[in-house]
Structure 1
Amino acid sequence: MPVKLTINEGTPFFRHENTHFNETNERDIHKHGKDILVKGLSKAYGRPIKSEVFLSKLEQRPDIMVNKQTVIEYQCAKIDLRKLSQRVMSYYHAGIDNYWILGGDYLDDKLTKQHLKFINHKPEWGFYILMLDSIKQKFTLFYEIRFVGPFNKIAYRKKSFNSCNLRYLLNFKPKFTSLKTSNSRSFMPTGSKS
């Protein structure tokens, strides 16, 4: 079985290549998700949206360029925090807003700590994370994300959207729930029992 050199934050090592889920499959998932996003955004904004535009000043090629000040990255493969921070900061220094939509290896029915590095904020949604399952053609919005209790449990609300109508997702304005304080001074989400 062939091996591949892997270099991450620790020591470089060799690993066997996975024959069941390889880079080609990841690219197909990624490409399909980008196609869904480009078509949906073009329809929602009523104008063509570009993908894979090379930004020579940054030496980067964002997945989707909404306009000169806004890019969207569809992140399917695992990315370490250092590399993610470098990309986000390069956009920030160039005055470009960047939004990250998770797919592939990051898809899950619930939020875990691995997702938190992609957290973003929008006044209508509070802190949020957006996922796109390109196979099921479904967006999942995790919104009103907060930490609850002494062990910082991740609390959030969740809503799914069909990818055919991206405008509905973009215009979604939920009513916020509030946190209640019990006599023991621990915080619980609305609807929780003490």
Structure 2
Amino acid sequence: MLIAETSEGKRVNLSQLSREEITGLKKKKHYCPGCKSEIIVKNGTVIMPHFAHKKNSQCFFFSENESEEHLVGKKLIAANCEKYGIDYELEAFLPELQQRPDVLINRKIAVEFQCSPLSIARFKERTINYQAFGYQVLWILGTKLQWKDSCSSMQRQFVYLSKNIGFYVWELDISKKEIRNNYFLVSSIWKKFYQTQLFSLEKESVIDILQFPLKNHEEVSYEIASKVACEKRIHCWNQQLNQKSKSSLQLQEFFYQEGLNLRELPVEIMLPSFQSVLLKEQELIWRFQIYQRIQRDKKMSYQSLYRMLKQNFDKNYPLISDCQLIKYHLSLYLCFLLQNKLIIEKEGYYYPTNKKFTLKKTSQEFLGIPLKYGMINK
């Protein structure tokens, strides 16, 4: 950690001191702002100067063995706030939460620079705790957790959602002093699509950087060959079922109960070929429920479909509201059904058309932001 307290309660910030000044601190006693136990100054050459608890000390507020990346990252964000005159507190201890964000900005934005794996349970606990006390929490990912072609369920927890840029994550590259926003995150059977916007911490304030998801941007779109994607997905399911994959077996069981075979799902449910980076196969179940309900009841409103999905939705992503997540996927699927005339909309209600849908060999799909779906099926 970079902050300590003196015997008089004065805060000492190592990130603002020279090596010589830090060496002089070794003669004085310093205490942890959280647990109040005595801590020591470490001023070596391998990791930047920092405070550390004594051996066998137990502190629930500050983790030991902080990496160089984590220490430097906190310092970069704090230095940016200092440069642009932004109110901030480095390693602010919030007694009402019993938590300590890496940097607290404008007394309401809790910045967490996460450089090492974190259990999903602990992530949810910390995030929900911040939100319950009115803090906006900003998770920024370090090198080990950054967005790649394959991501764990823990990494998906750090995803945000914005109307203007879709699903996105924040990352920090300490070597380049850059914050990255990987946005318009979309999965497919082949790969993950995403765009990247770079921000220099030496040229832009962190507050200005955080406005990126709220602004309008140039239109970006992705393209997929529909028939090839469907065939590839069925091939993958075959492999996973043969390997007794738990998720595929559960999906197969769901559709079996509905009188369908996972290997022979109607294309009306398999499309769009663009897949959710969060819901994964749950998205297929939602599509089936939407399509079946419109076919069965003959007349459904958007709000009725929304309530149906929300009723059995188990909230898993505290950085995204249930409303945001459900409406994104509901709107995307309705776009597909409407464009291909599988349903029609009239005076705020959706009606089935009983049209037979045939997927052509050369069919192409397009997905853009703000959310815009298109399909050429000729």
TM-score (normalised: structure 2) = 0.39
How far has the Cα of 1:83 moved from its partner?
Answer: 0.8
Return the alpha-carbon distance in structure 2 between the equivalents of residues 52 and 104 of structure 1: 21
Larger Rg computed on CA atoms: 2
Partner residue, 2:122:
83
Could you say what secondary structure the match of 1:37 adopts? helix
Distance 1:119 1:183, change over 3 A: closer
Distance 1:183 1:142, change over 3 A: closer
Partner residue, 1:63:
102
Partner residue, 2:184:
144
Q: Which runs of 5+ in 1 are unaligned?
A: 1-20
Could you say what secondary structure the match of 1:118 adopts? coil
How far has the Cα of 1:48 moved from its partner?
Answer: 3.3
Distance 1:42 1:52, change over 3 A: same
Return the alpha-carbon distance in structure 1 between the equivalents of residues 176 and 224 of structure 2: 39
For 1:93, the aligned partner's letter is: A
Q: Is the 8 A contact 1:41 1:166 kept in 2?
A: no
Tell me, yes or no, if structure 1 residue 97 matches structure 2 residue 140. Answer: no
Tell me, yes or no, if structure 1 residue 117 matches structure 2 residue 186. Answer: no
Could you say what secondary structure the match of 1:166 adopts? coil
Q: Is the 8 A contact 2:149 2:191 kept in 1?
A: no
For 2:193, the aligned partner's letter is: A
**1:101-154 per-position Cα deviation (integer Å, ceiling 9, x unaligned):** 01142246x353233110012344322111101123222210111233xx4843
Return the alpha-carbon distance in structure 2 between the equivalents of residues 89 and 171 of structure 1: 22
How far has the Cα of 1:180 moved from its partner?
Answer: 5.3
Distance 1:78 1:42, change over 3 A: same
Q: CA RMSD in A?
A: 3.1
Distance 1:152 1:63, change over 3 A: farther
Tell me, yes or no, if structure 1 residue 47 matches structure 2 residue 86. Answer: yes
For 1:35, the aligned partner's letter is: K
**1:70-94 per-position Cα deviation (integer Å, ceiling 9, x unaligned):** 2110001111111101111111211
Work out which structure has the larger RCO, using CA pairs closer than 8 Å and 6 or more positions apart in sequence.
1
Partner residue, 1:175:
218
Tell me, yes or no, if structure 1 residue 165 matches structure 2 residue 165. Answer: no
Identify, as 1 or 2, the structure richer in helix.
2
Which sits farther off after the overlay, 115-124 or 52-61? 115-124
Q: Which runs of 5+ in 2 are unaligned?
A: 1-46, 48-63, 228-270, 275-364, 369-375
Q: Is the 8 A contact 1:71 1:98 kept in 2?
A: yes
Return the alpha-carbon distance in structure 1 between the equivalents of residues 219 and 79 of structure 2: 30
**1:10-56 per-position Cα deviation (integer Å, ceiling 9, x unaligned):** xxxxxxxxxxx9x74x4322111011111223444x33311111111
Identify, as 1 or 2, the structure richer in strand.
1
Return the alpha-carbon distance in structure 2 between the equivalents of residues 154 and 37 of structure 1: 29
Return the alpha-carbon distance in structure 2 between the equivalents of residues 43 and 170 of structure 1: 16
Q: Which runs of 4+ in 1 moved over 6 A?
A: none
Return the alpha-carbon distance in structure 2 between the equivalents of residues 181 and 56 of structure 1: 50
Distance 1:190 1:99, change over 3 A: same
TM-score (normalised: structure 1) = 0.71
Return the alpha-carbon distance in structure 2 between the equivalents of residues 179 and 116 of structure 1: 21
Could you say what secondary structure the match of 1:65 adopts? strand
For 2:81, the aligned partner's letter is: L
Distance 1:78 1:181, change over 3 A: closer
How many pairs does the alignment contain? 167
